[in-house]
Amino acid sequence: CQRRLKETLMDNIDEFLAHVRENIDQHGWHAQGVGARPDRPTYTYTVGLTAMGFEELVVVGLLPSQAHEVLTGGVRLLQDGVGLHAGRIVQGLLEGLPIKTTDCSNEHLNVARSVYGVEVMAVQLVWPDAAGRFPGEPGHDDSLPSQRL
């Protein structure tokens, strides 16, 4: 019974990864959402930018539609030659707010790692508080939901 369950799970994973690869083939990338857990907020990330020579993009704490909009805008910037290396600030991705790129571990990007291996690189896109301070900056409003992954 255990063996059959494991085989069924592996078949489901293979089917899912085939779906991800199909999205990448059709659209250039796939948006992977991950639900919140007690130790981590909801987040969404790209899978497919690695094959284009870019870092995968990650957003934390947004609704799926907002996350997809921000990631789509980020992908367009990359395709237009705008580098999104850590520390860059860009406009126009989230309701008129500036977005800052920060270093991000690939530890929680399981689908991207399954497709490309453990060497996947990523940057996280973060937004400021009402005073314009980004997470990690002195004076940032830490009462806001965490954008930490």
pLDDT of 98 > 50? The answer is yes
Name the band, by pLDDT with cuts 50, 70 and 90, for residue 35: confident
At residue 2, the pLDDT reads 45
Q: Are 114 and 34 in contact (CB under 8 A)?
A: no
Report residue 115's pLDDT band, with 50, 70 and 90 as the boundaries. very high
Average pLDDT, the chain: 87
Contact between 98 and 90 (Cβ < 8 Å): yes
Q: Residue 149: what pLDDT? A: 62
Decide if pLDDT at 59 tops 70.
Answer: yes
Distance CA 27, CA 9 (A): 27
Whole-model pTM?
Answer: 0.87
Residue 137: per-residue pLDDT: 86
User: For residue 9, what pLDDT is reported?
Assistant: 47
Which residue type occupies 114? Answer: S
Q: Find out whether 49 and 35 touch, Cβ atoms under 8 Å.
A: no
Average pLDDT rounded to a whole number, residues 137-149: 79
Beta strands in the chain (DSSP E): 30-34, 43-47, 56-60, 89-94, 97-104, 122-126
